[in-house]
Amino acid sequence: MNKDQQPQDLNEHEQQEHSAVDDSNEVPAEQQSLSAEQQTISELQAALAKAEATVSEQRDSVLRAKAEMENARRRAETEVEKARKFALERFAAELLPVADNLERAVQLADHENESLKPMMEGVDITLKSFISTIEKFGLNVIDPQGEAFNPEKHQAMSMQESADVPANTVLAVMQKGYEINGRLLRPAMVMVSRASEGGVDIEA
Q: Are residues 102 and 124 in the same domain?
A: yes
Distance CA 120, CA 110 (A): 9
Domain end marker among 87, 107, 137? 137
Q: How far apart are CA 182 and CA 135, in angstroms?
A: 12
145-192 pLDDT, tens per residue?
A: 999 999 999 999 999 998 888 999 999 999 999 998 888 999 999 999
Torsion sign, CA atoms 139, 144, 147, 149: positive
- Alpha carbon distances (Å) from 106 to 38, 103, 127: 99, 5, 9
Assigned domain for 116 exists? yes
DSSP 12-43: HHHHHHHHHHHHHHSPPHHHHHHHHHHHHHHH
Determine whether 182 is exposed, middle or buried from the number of CB atoms within 10 Å of its CB (0-12, 13-18, 19+).
exposed
CATH number of domain containing 150: 2.30.22.10
User: Nearest-5° angle of CA 90, CA 93, CA 97?
Assistant: 145
Q: How many residues does the chain have?
A: 204
Q: Which amino acid is at 54?
A: T
- Whether residue 7 is contained in a domain is answered as no
DSSP 8-state code for residue 196: T
Whether residues 133 and 170 share a domain: the answer is no
119, 137, 155 - which closes a domain: 137
| 13 within domain boundaries | no
Separation of alpha carbons 171 and 34, rounded Å: 101
**Count of other CB atoms within 10 angstroms of residue 86:** 10
Q: Is residue 43 part of a domain?
A: no
Q: Write the CATH number for 90.
A: 3.90.20.20
190 found inside a domain? yes
Residue 119 lies in a domain: yes
Q: What is the pLDDT of residue 116?
A: 84
Look at the chain and report how many structural domains it folds into: 2
Final residue of a structural domain among 95, 118, 137: 137
Q: Tell whether 129 is covered by a domain.
A: yes
pTM for the whole thing? 0.56
Where in the sequence is the domain holding 97, given as residue range(s)? Answer: 69-137
98 shares its domain with 131: yes
For 22-70, write each residue's pLDDT tens digit: 554 555 666 666 677 788 888 888 888 888 888 888 888 888 888 888 8
